[in-house]
Structure 1
Amino acid sequence: MLFIFLFAYVLLSARPLEMFYGIDHNVQPRQDLSPYLERSVQDGKIMRLQLDLLKRNEAAHADAREHFPVFAGGVLFASVTRVANEKINAACLVYGVARAIYAVAYLSSCA
Structure 2
Amino acid sequence: MASLAVSLGLRAADPLTNLVGIPNYAPAYLAFHFVWAYGILSSRTLKQWYKLDHQESPRYDLVKYGEAAVKSGKITKRQLNMMQRCESASANSVENYTFFLGAIGFATFSGVDRQTVNYWGLMYTAARIAYGAAYVLIEDRKVALVRGLLWWAGNAACFALLWAAGGKLNA
Q: TM-score range by the shorter chain?
A: over 0.9
2:36 aligned residue: 7
Work out the CA distance in 2 between the residues paired with 1:30 and 1:52.
15
The TM-score, its normalising length taken from structure 1, stands at 0.94
- 1:85 Cα deviation after fit: 1.3
- 1:25 Cα deviation after fit: 1.3
Greater shift, 8-17 or 27-36, is seen at 27-36
* Aligned-partner residue type, residue 124 of structure 2: Y
1:32 aligned residue: 61
2:16 aligned residue: none
Q: Which structure has the greater CA radius of gyration?
A: 2
1:94 aligned residue: 123
- 1:36 Cα deviation after fit: 1.1
Tell me which stretches of 4 or more aligned residues in structure 1 moved more than 6 Å: none
1:110 aligned residue: 139
2:47 aligned residue: 18
What CA RMSD, in Å, does the superposition of the two structures yield over aligned residues?
Answer: 1.1
Contact 2:52 2:62 in 1 (8 A): no
Of the candidates 103, 111, 114, which is equivalent to residue 74 of structure 1? 103
Long gaps (5+) in structure 1: none
- 1:37 Cα deviation after fit: 0.6
- 1:71 Cα deviation after fit: 0.2
- 1:44 Cα deviation after fit: 1.2
Structure with more helix by fraction: 1
User: What is the correspondence of 1:26-65 to structure 2 with a 5 Å cutoff?
Assistant: 26-65=55-94
- 1:29 Cα deviation after fit: 1.2
Q: Secondary structure at the match of 1:25?
A: coil
Greater shift, 82-91 or 12-21, is seen at 82-91
Greater shift, 56-65 or 99-108, is seen at 99-108
Higher relative contact order (CA 8 A, sep 6+): 1
Q: Aligned pair count?
A: 111
- 1:72 Cα deviation after fit: 0.2
* Deviation per residue, 1:27-80 (Å, 9 max, x gap): 211211111111111111110000000110001000100000000000111012
Long gaps (5+) in structure 2: 1-29, 141-171
Identity of aligned residues (%): 37
* Aligned-partner residue type, residue 24 of structure 1: D
